[in-house]
Structures are given as structure tokens and as C-alpha cells.
């Protein structure tokens, strides 16, 4: 068996520079339609040839950035689910802490098509896993997973956009209380 190839540090650095350039440009002007390869490359301090070594076009760059952040979030959620020493509320608080730390990226990603949908699917898996792991029997009129997930995404989006004066612990407690009401 061959060992997996280690990615060249220059490639990693270039991709990070392009990612930061995109976020910087979107902070200045949130219209994704105004992003161009030339603008992103110039902001990154790299050239267009380097851009095309890594990405096909702006959409490919945005897709890869979105996937990278969703993968990190997925890994964080998986680690929290398997953390046996944490209560559900502590897990939720840690997830919200993670989202708070990355809020600037998330605010921008919410403007990218399909990010919210992908976040919904990721959180739906979390809700489904939590539901399967619960020991209590669920009543027949239990709120559907989609509705719970949509409310969770809505709360997170509201909190990141407008409610940051509330702590992650407070929001986690409110979510926990809301889902515990039968």
C-alpha cells in the first residue's frame, strides 16, 4: 500500500490566500456576481495562472471553500456527538462557540447559493443522530426532523446575524428548552 501524498505547503498557502481574498472582497462588496478571477488573484497577491492551477473558475473556488468549511463543521459535530463526557446542552454550547468563532466566514457563506441548504442537511444529520440516541419514547405527534432542523438553522442564522449580544450558553439553553417542551 502506498501512503497518501502529502499536499505541497505552497499549494496549501496559495489556497488559503485565495480563500482570504474572497472573504475580504465579499466583506467590501457582498455581491458574489462582482467577484472576478482578476480581483481575487490581485487581492491574494497571486496571479491568474496560479488561480487556474487550483480552480476552474470563481464558482469552483466558492464551492471548494464552502465544502471545506462544511467539512470542518461536520468534523466538529461528529466529535461533539461522540464526546461521551458532555451533556447535550454542553455539546450544543460548544457547537455554538465554534460557530461564533467562525461567524465572519459564516455571514459571508450565507450569501453563497446552497450554503444554507447544505448547513440544513448537516444539522439534520445531527438532529437525526440525537433522535436515534435518545432513550425516551417519542410521541406519535413528535415534531418532524425537518421542522426541528429548519428552526435550528433559523435560530443560528438569527443569532449570528443579529443576536450576538446573547452568549452561546444562553442560546444553547433556549434551544434546549424549546426542544424539551412536548
Task: Tell me the per-residue pLDDT of 83-106, one tens digit each, with 9 for 90 and over.
Answer: 777 777 888 888 899 888 888 888
Q: Give the pLDDT of residue 181.
A: 54
Q: Say which residues have a Cβ less than 8 Å from residue 86's Cβ, sequence separation at least 6.
A: 80, 94
**Distance between CA atoms of 17 and 168, rounded to whole angstroms?**
30
Task: Tell me the per-residue pLDDT of 40-90, one tens digit each, with 9 for 90 and over.
Answer: 999 999 999 999 999 999 999 998 988 888 888 888 888 877 777 777 788
Task: Tell me the per-residue pLDDT of 103-152, one tens digit each, with 9 for 90 and over.
Answer: 888 888 887 767 888 888 888 887 777 777 665 555 544 557 788 888 88
CATH for the 1-55 domain, from 3.40.50.970, 1.10.10.60, 3.30.420.40, 1.20.1740.10: 1.10.10.60
Query: Is residue 145 within 8 Å of residue 127, measured between CB atoms?
Result: yes
Name the residue ranges covered by the structural domains of the chain. Answer: 1-55, 69-180
Q: Say which residues have a Cβ less than 8 Å from residue 173's Cβ, sequence separation at least 6.
A: 89
**Distance between CA atoms of 175 and 132, rounded to whole angstroms?**
19
Query: If you search the block for the grid coordinates 455571514, which residue do you land on?
Result: 107
Amino acid at each position: 500500500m502506498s501512503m497518501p501524498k502529502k499536499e505541497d505547503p505552497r499549494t496549501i498557502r496559495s489556497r488559503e490566500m485565495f480563500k482570504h481574498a474572497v472573504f475580504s472582497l465579499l466583506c467590501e462588496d457582498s455581491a458574489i456576481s462582482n467577484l472576478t478571477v482578476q480581483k481575487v488573484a490581485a487581492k491574494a497577491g497571486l496571479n491568474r495562472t496560479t488561480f487556474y492551477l487550483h480552480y476552474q473558475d470563481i464558482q469552483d473556488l466558492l464551492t471548494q471553500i464552502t465544502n471545506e468549511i462544511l467539512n470542518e463543521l461536520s468534523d466538529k459535530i461528529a466529535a461533539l456527538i461522540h464526546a461521551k463526557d458532555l451533556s447535550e446542552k454542553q455539546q450544543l454550547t460548544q457547537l455554538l462557540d465554534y460557530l461564533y468563532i467562525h461567524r465572519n466566514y459564516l455571514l459571508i457563506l450565507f450569501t453563497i447559493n446552497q450554503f444554507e441548504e447544505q448547513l440544513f442537511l448537516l444539522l439534520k444529520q445531527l438532529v437525526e443522530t440525537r433522535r436515534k440516541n435518545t432513550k425516551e419514547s417519542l410521541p406519535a405527534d413528535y415534531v418532524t426532523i425537518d421542522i426541528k432542523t429548519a428552526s435550528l438553522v433559523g435560530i443560528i442564522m438569527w443569532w449570528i446575524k443579529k443576536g450576538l449580544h446573547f452568549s452561546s450558553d444562553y442560546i444553547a439553553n433556549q434551544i434546549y428548552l424549546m426542544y424539551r417542551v412536548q
